[in-house]
Amino acid sequence: MQSPIFSAHGVTKVYRSGEVEVFALRGVDLDLYEGEIAVLLGPSGSGKSTLLNIMGGLDRATAGEVRFRGQDLTTFSERQFTRFRRDHIGFVFQFYNLIPSLTAWENVALVTEISSNPMKPDEALEMVGLKDRMAHFPAQLSGGEQQRVAIARAIAKRPEVMLCDEPTGALDSKTGILVLEALSRINEEMKTTMAIITHNAGIRQIAHRVFTFKDGRIADAAVNDQRARPAEVSW
Ligand code: ADP
Ligand code: MG
């Protein structure tokens, strides 16, 4: 059986502020296989973002282990942690954080300049269907287009994994579907493994597996039978 690219075991996260403890995650197990799209569902406050942040090296688990290709992130120094995040992970968030004074092309180029094996900005923007918007500034683009620029920026360094935290959260349902379709195309063409948090119903068409969070735990894990699994994957 194929080994997972990401393997989280017993991941627990406790946030402390003064005397108050919040259990954001209470022992989560999640394997992510190469080439799959996993979607994380569940109510607000159920721990989805916390898990994604821990997998992406933005936050540390209180207990448990998180392995990326066998290496346990929880043992990483700050420096290894930063390098891991930079070299392997592409992030997409609800808000696009584009630089307003730079064009779409320049926003993507900013990242490709510091990567070891980058895509050309044109290629990354073409992948998300924005070939004819390259010279536009963020303010001249719709929300969905801005998010697709942010996705182009994230894929331009060819990350192995994309972690997307409510990439459709600021968009209406139809526009959100275009964003999810762009992610699906990247998954198919670049074989990028993805974990996506979204409430957009269109995700049913593109997710291979669906994990439902409740109170800091995964309450349900299901294979999406509307979608064939990637060829090499056996879970
Ligand atoms: P979701 O993404 O599913 O909405 P989160 O992972 O953001 O949920 O949050 C899980 C729980 O952890 C919530 O109770 C939230 O308030 C708490 N939490 C998240 N981040 C922090 C933080 N930085 N400090 C304190 N509590 C936090
Ligand atoms: Mg969240």
Per residue in 7-19, pLDDT (tens digit) is 999 999 999 999 9
Q: Which two tokens stand for residue 138?
A: 């963020």
Ligand 1 centroid distance, CA of 88 (Å): 24
The 8-class DSSP code of residue 115 comes to -
Average pLDDT over all residues of the chain: 95
What is the ipTM metric for this complex? 0.98
**Cβ(223)–Cβ(64) under 8 Å?**
no
Closest ligand 1 atom to residue 50 Cα is 6
Q: Which residue has 């946030």 as its token pair?
A: 15
Ligand 2 centroid distance, CA of 50 (Å): 7
- Which protein residues touch ligand 1 with a CB less than 6 Å away? 15, 22, 24, 42, 44-50, 213
* Residue 36 pLDDT > 90: yes
Q: Which residue has 């998954």 as its token pair?
A: 187
Q: Say what the pLDDT of residue 230 is.
A: 80
**Could you tell me which of 187, 194, 120 has the C-alpha nearest to residue 164?**
194
**Could you tell me which of 173, 155, 178 has the C-alpha nearest to residue 89?**
155
* Residue 1 pLDDT > 60: no
* Residue 151 pLDDT > 90: yes
Residue-wise pLDDT for 106-138, tens only, equals 999 998 888 888 999 999 999 999 999 999 999
Mean pLDDT within 22-46: 97
Helices (H), 6-162: 48-55, 78-88, 104-112, 121-127, 143-155
Ligand 1 centroid distance, CA of 38 (Å): 20
- In whole angstroms, what is the distance from residue 87 CA to residue 83 CA? 6
Q: Say what the pLDDT of residue 95 is.
A: 96
**Whose alpha carbon is nearest atom 17 of ligand 1?**
24
Mean pLDDT within 54-80: 96
Number of residues in the chain: 235
Give the relative orientation of helices 104-112 and 143-155 as an angle to the nearest 10 degrees: 20
**Whose alpha carbon is nearest atom 23 of ligand 1?**
15
Mean pLDDT within 16-34: 96
State percent of the chain over pLDDT 70: 98
Ligand 1 centroid distance, CA of 97 (Å): 21
Q: Say what the pLDDT of residue 235 is.
A: 64
Closest ligand 1 atom to residue 52 Cα is 6
Q: Say what the pLDDT of residue 227 is.
A: 86
Q: Which residue has 């068409």 as its token pair?
A: 205
**Cβ(144)–Cβ(176) under 8 Å?**
yes
**Could you tell me which of 229, 225, 230, 199 has the C-alpha nearest to residue 212?**
199
Residue-wise pLDDT for 185-235, tens only, equals 999 999 999 999 999 999 989 999 999 999 999 999 999 988 877 876 766
Q: Which two tokens stand for residue 35?
A: 């080439």
- In whole angstroms, what is the distance from residue 214 CA to residue 161 CA? 24
- In whole angstroms, what is the distance from residue 96 CA to residue 171 CA? 11
How close are the terminal C-alpha atoms of the chain, in Å?
Answer: 8
Nearest ligand atom owner, CA of 46: 1
Q: In what order do the strands lie in the sheet with 20-32?
A: 20-32, 6-17, 63-68, 71-72
Q: Which residue has 């197990």 as its token pair?
A: 29
Q: Which two tokens stand for residue 10?
A: 């017993």
pTM of this prediction? 0.95
